[in-house]
Amino acid sequence: MTSNYVHGYHPREHVRLQDQAGTLADLLHADTVYPPGSRVLEVGCGVGAQTLTLARRSPRTRFTSIDRSAESVDEARRRADAAGLDNVEFLQADLFELPFADGSFDHVFVCFVLEHLARPLAALALLDRVLKPGGTITVIEGDHGTICFHPDSAAARATIDCQVELQRRAGGNALIGRSLYPLLVAVGFDRVAVSPRMVYADAGRPALVDGFTDKTFCAMVEGVRDAAIAAGLSTPAAFDAGLADLRRTTRADGTFCYSFFKGVAEKWRRS
């Protein structure tokens, strides 16, 4: 791939990904079910945070889940084995050097991957190659430009912007969610349908406050602290003040809102 994973591969990031996947499983995947006997390619599986949900929801589907990190693939395989899943094959592979023949898969699933790529159009074109005519692709991405929270804070927004800028410098795009429709159309996919998946957390939804606002989003921003300071995007005092204001939204009178986007499209059937 052509960019760096801005969040890193520290064990705390593995925990964050698991918290995120568990918290958002129904929001993102309630309508993701594949037919028995079909073959699905999951790209950028990481430590298997999304894989376990997909495999459980479609137990008679065969999944091939790939990631460029051997360490992540090993961890994903360990988690799948511990969960008793026998319908997933894990491989170390790069999206830009896919070791599969044309039309190898009935469906392709991509979650939180395009945001880290400098060439998302090229990536989607490569995935189109390994997809059978009439097969589907599912793409899920977030968009940091959709964030709103109470109490509002310029310091918190500046700290969030550090993560957005670091991702941009690494070749990615933390605002890519809003672009899924034009990206899929540009590659030539048919029947493109994109839907927003909004997460709203307040004291009346404590599981979301804990699982998403605190353990997913705040943890993600905190994870780039050292990199942001080293890059001169913030000072320790300014970053910490912004992070404190962001965590302030998890209190009883706080709220936090974020939108993901889920795109589903079909590979064009040639007559």
Which 8-state DSSP code applies to residue 35?
Answer: -
Q: What homologous superfamily does CATH list for 11-266?
A: Vaccinia Virus protein VP39 (3.40.50.150)
For residue range 3-52, list pLDDT tens digits in order. Answer: 455 545 556 555 555 555 567 888 999 999 999 999 999 999 999 999 99
How sure is the predictor about 92, in pLDDT bands with cuts at 50, 70 and 90? very high
For residue range 210-219, list pLDDT tens digits in order. Answer: 999 999 999 9
Backbone angles phi, psi at 23, to 5 degrees: -70, -35
Which 8-state DSSP code applies to residue 200?
Answer: E
End-to-end, the C-alpha distance of the chain in Å comes to: 33
Give the pTM: 0.91
Q: What is the DSSP string of 48-59?
A: TTTHHHHHHHST
> Which tokens is 132 given?
């059978």
Domain spans in the chain, listed from the N-terminal domain onward? 11-266
109 pairs with which residues across the strands?
Answer: 42, 138
